[in-house]
Amino acid sequence: MTNTSPGHTHQIDSETGKMGMWLFLFTELFLFGGLFLAYAVLRNTHSEGFHKAAAELDIFIGTINTVVLLMSSMTVAMSITALQKDNKRLAIRLLLATIFLAGVFMVNKYFEWSHKFEHHLWPGSEVYLNLERSEITFYGLYYMMTGLHALHVIIGAILLVVTIFRIKAGVQHSGHYVLLENSALYWHLVDLIWIFLFPLLYLIT
Amino acid sequence: MGKQDTYSHISYLEHKGRFKGIMSWLTSTDHKKIGLMYLYAIVVFFFVAAVLGVLMRIEKMNPGPDIMDAQTYNGIFTLHGVIMIFIVVIPGIAAVFGNFFLPIMIGAKDVAFPKLNLFSWYVYIIGAILGVLSQFAGDGPPDTGWTFYVPYAANSSTNVIFALTAAFVLGFSSILTGLNFIVTIHRLRAPGMTFFKMPLFPWSLYATAWIQILATPIVGITLLMVIAERVLHIGFFDPALGGDPLLFQHLFWIYSHPAVYVMILPAMGVVTEIFPTFSQKPVFGYGAIAISSLAIAVVGYFVWGHHMFTTGISYWSRWFFSFLTFIVAVPSAIKVFNWISTMYGGSIQMRPPLLYAISFIFLFLIGGFTGLTLGALATNVHVHDTSFVVAHFHYIIFGGMGFAFFAAMHYWFPKIYGRMYSDKMAYIAWGILFVGFNVLYFPLFILGLQGMPRRYFDYLPEYHNGHLISSIGAFITFTGLILMIGNLIYHRRRGVVAPSNPYQGVTLEWQIESPPTHENFETIPVIQNPPYLFKKTEK
Amino acid sequence: MKNGEKPHISSYTSHAIVLIALLALTFITVFVSEINFGAFSVGVALIVASVKAVTVLTYFMHLKFENRFTVWMVSGVFIVFALVIVITFIDYLLR
């Protein structure tokens, strides 16, 4: 084990950086974990209303978005392989593909939300507050969970953009790619959370 | 791997970075300077909140309104709680002494992510400022108490959102510190220092950091949900919108109970350092203390429901939480046993740090045993939400964590500033503080048993004597605090120059210069022996 | 970099195979949700989701090739979270 303090070498070694990222991912998991717990409890109280409200969500859009995120997870994982094999161009292209898929996801999300907004169904609206109480909680959770998740998609995409610039600058290369690994880990987390959100919000009707 | 030629013997206090003056502090990624910046912020906020506490005691000196009305009182106890819990005691020992001494004690030059460390200090300051601003911005100071219980927190017309955001931001800072410490302990230990050759203060910080990482996000999302509920009328917790108020309490205590261990574990770590040094004897039961820190962290994570015994949670759940609450007392008792055994047969040197550490045990025991009273289902129903609870947690937080903090300040003062404080003054301050503390809080136990509710602005005439004694205690305590801090502040620059190892300690921080240099170690030590190996004491 | 050990390089094909498996699981879970299993439908959906999550963790997030401590940490964290849910439901289900 090397004992260089990063304060003096200005380069954090890969193991240290990755461990920090994993710990950070745990905090993210628990952040969503709180919401999952709330979902479980509220669903337990309002199972009928949850079924009814969940049936209103568009399974098709949800499935498309799942596929999109899974694919983006693969491209970002492949990008690490590419950089490890010293194929800088392919690595950058794969990252661009990932960002593109993130964009597709967000566009889908936008259509999904705006469709609801057309029906005046946003938290606090009159239609919303006149729903059954169980449906109010379902939509509340739906907006909170997908909204927070979408925020993470945006943050993840920004991280990937930064990574591209670092690869271009040659700071991240086949010998040192901890930033790429970490942003990939973060991106997989976004996928991981969606893997649970999708059945819980869309499928259980 | 420090380059020998660049090593300078200038202390970190005089080390010149890119900037001079205050900017050299505000931009420094040196863990020692960051630790001190936390210390100064915490001491300032501690005094703000302490003054608020004294104001509450003045108000309660006599029945009926004296110096404030009921709504102001609500605001003051909320602010007192928010500052003390989120700004003072949760970062407390870990952020100040953990930052300063963790890297030194494991033989590292800094924490794993120095920039992140500075960043988390800024996040902390932003959160603290938001917390204070909540008093002035918007529609009056929040009046929910630091627990933000919903539905009231979702409906109160006061400025709760600021306080919620402040707590959220402070939680984020706490997470980053914890993350940094775990990685530091895993990756930067000196060569040869295995986990079981590590001093016990780092051990306690390790356990603490895990709680910070795994519990804080839960309160983060909970506070966000309350904010969403206030702003957007999403029905998570408010029964009028289909929510579940008990869900809030579950989520809140999933964090806030472990948060108690975030405060007390580092405190235990500090006194574990102090006892061997002043007994000149290896710590008794090293492994037991190390493992019990982890055990407290693990078990303590799952006892949150004991705050909710009277809320109507299920019978089995009450049974379960009460049982685990008793279990978590076991590792704490193991520690107390080991501290006392460490002193047994040692050559005890009764210096101020040891005095504070011993009073820590005394007060912590009272707090701990009354905690069991509260953890027992039958007695809890009687004393729930009375001033018994207030007394209990002040004994743990102020008597436990607070006194350990003072012990740490005296213990490491010579290392931090390279000067000695006045022992005589420290003894006097300790005496006043210790007496004042007990006069202040002990009557609250009795009042609570008699049925005095907590957070009440007024009380029946029967309770007058108890409240009067308690208020007198508040003044004595405050005097003691002023004397103690004054002694330290005064001798920070003017004290006698301290040797590098004034107490004959054996852990790594005593093997380097006082104050430490910028890079801590000229050469990174290679560790062969377990910690706490004292030379046979010459009598 | 560390211990002179070379990092594991996953091949492109292995990533593609993992993706295909994940997509297959997704379609299964969507398809199954059309059939009503009653009380079990939540369980089925969650089991499939968990299998997917483990697959992502193992292959995409390279847990299979990480040191053992990381694997312990990750499993520990999931266990802690599961316990939190179970303990909360000791309250809700037994009221």
Interchain pair C12, A66: CB under 8 A: no
C35 and C9, same structural domain? Answer: yes
C72 and C56, same structural domain? Answer: no
pLDDT score at B91:
93
Return the structure tokens found at C78.
């999931």
For the segment C52-71, the average pLDDT, to the nearest whole number, is: 92
CA distances from A59 to A113, A121, C27 (A): 14, 18, 12
For the segment A89-104, the average pLDDT, to the nearest whole number, is: 96
C42 and C4, same structural domain? Answer: yes
Going from the N-terminus, what domains does chain B have, and what CATH number goes with each? 22-511 (1.20.210.10)
Reported confidence tier of residue B4, pLDDT bands at 50, 70, 90: very low
pLDDT score at B154:
87
Average pLDDT, chain B: 93
Which residue type is seen at B505? Answer: G
Cβ burial, residue B378 (10 Å; 0-12/13-18/19+): exposed
Q: Which residues of B touch A42 (CB under 8 A)?
A: 236, 242-244, 247
How many residue pairs bridge chain A and chain C with CB atoms within 8 Å of each other?
113
Cα–chain center distance at B529: 31
C71 and C48, same structural domain? Answer: no
C32 and C13, same structural domain? Answer: yes
Q: Which domain holds residue C72?
A: 67-95
- Is the ipTM reported for this complex over the cut 0.85? yes
Reported confidence tier of residue A9, pLDDT bands at 50, 70, 90: very low
3-state secondary structure of B525: coil
pLDDT score at A104:
97
Q: C33 to chain A nearest CA, in Å?
A: 6
- Per-residue pLDDT reduced to its tens digit, B405-439: 999 999 999 999 999 999 999 999 999 999 999 99
CA distances from B442 to B63, B69, B396 (A): 19, 26, 13
Give the DSSP H or E segment for C81: helix C68-93
Reported confidence tier of residue B95, pLDDT bands at 50, 70, 90: very high
Q: C92 to chain B nearest CA, in Å?
A: 7
pLDDT score at B222:
95
Interchain pair A81, C11: CB under 8 A: yes
Reported confidence tier of residue A10, pLDDT bands at 50, 70, 90: very low
> Which one has a higher pLDDT value, A10 or A118?
A118
Q: A129 to chain B nearest CA, in Å?
A: 8
pLDDT score at C8:
83
Interchain pair A188, C61: CB under 8 A: yes
C47 and C85, same structural domain? Answer: no
**Percent of chain C with pLDDT strictly greater than 90:** 63
Reported confidence tier of residue B512, pLDDT bands at 50, 70, 90: very high
Return the structure tokens found at B492.
């920070």
Q: Is the pLDDT of residue B273 over 70?
A: yes
C78 and C36, same structural domain? Answer: no
Going from the N-terminus, what domains does chain A have, and what CATH number goes with each? 28-203 (1.20.120.80)
**Interface residue of C34, C61, C83 to substitute, partner A, most A CBs within 10 Å:** C61
Q: Is the pLDDT of residue B511 over 70?
A: yes
For the segment A78-96, the average pLDDT, to the nearest whole number, is: 95
Q: Is the pLDDT of residue B308 over 60?
A: yes
Contact with chain A for residue B378, Cβ under 8 A:
no
pLDDT score at A6:
40
Closest in C69, C77, C94 to B315, CB measured: C94
Reported confidence tier of residue B400, pLDDT bands at 50, 70, 90: very high
Q: Is the pLDDT of residue B1 over 60?
A: no
C80 and C55, same structural domain? Answer: no
Reported confidence tier of residue B497, pLDDT bands at 50, 70, 90: very high
pLDDT score at C1:
39
Q: Which residues of A touch B186 (CB under 8 A)?
A: 19
Reported confidence tier of residue B169, pLDDT bands at 50, 70, 90: very high
pLDDT score at A181:
94
Q: Which residues of C touch A184 (CB under 8 A)?
A: 60-61
The DSSP output letter for B66 is S
Interchain pair C80, B317: CB under 8 A: no
C71 and C26, same structural domain? Answer: no
Return the structure tokens found at A108.
């889908």
Q: Is the pLDDT of residue A1 over 70?
A: no
Interchain pair B250, C94: CB under 8 A: no
C46 and C22, same structural domain? Answer: yes
- Domain count for chain C: 2
pLDDT score at A54:
87
For the segment B374-378, the average pLDDT, to the nearest whole number, is: 94
Reported confidence tier of residue A132, pLDDT bands at 50, 70, 90: confident
Q: Is the pLDDT of residue B539 over 60?
A: no
Least confident segment among A22-31, A130-139, B337-346:
A130-139
Which residue type is seen at C28? Answer: I
**Percent of chain B with pLDDT strictly greater than 70:** 98
> Which one has a higher pLDDT value, A15 or A1?
A15
Which residue type is seen at A3? Answer: N
**B236 and B373 in contact (C-beta within 8 Å)?**
no
pLDDT score at B139:
79
3-state secondary structure of C2: strand
C84 and C38, same structural domain? Answer: no
C23 and C8, same structural domain? Answer: yes
Closest in B214, B301, B314 to C91, CB measured: B314
**A6 and B114 in contact (C-beta within 8 Å)?**
yes
Instruction: Identify the closest residue of chain A to B224 by CA–CA distance.
Output: A144
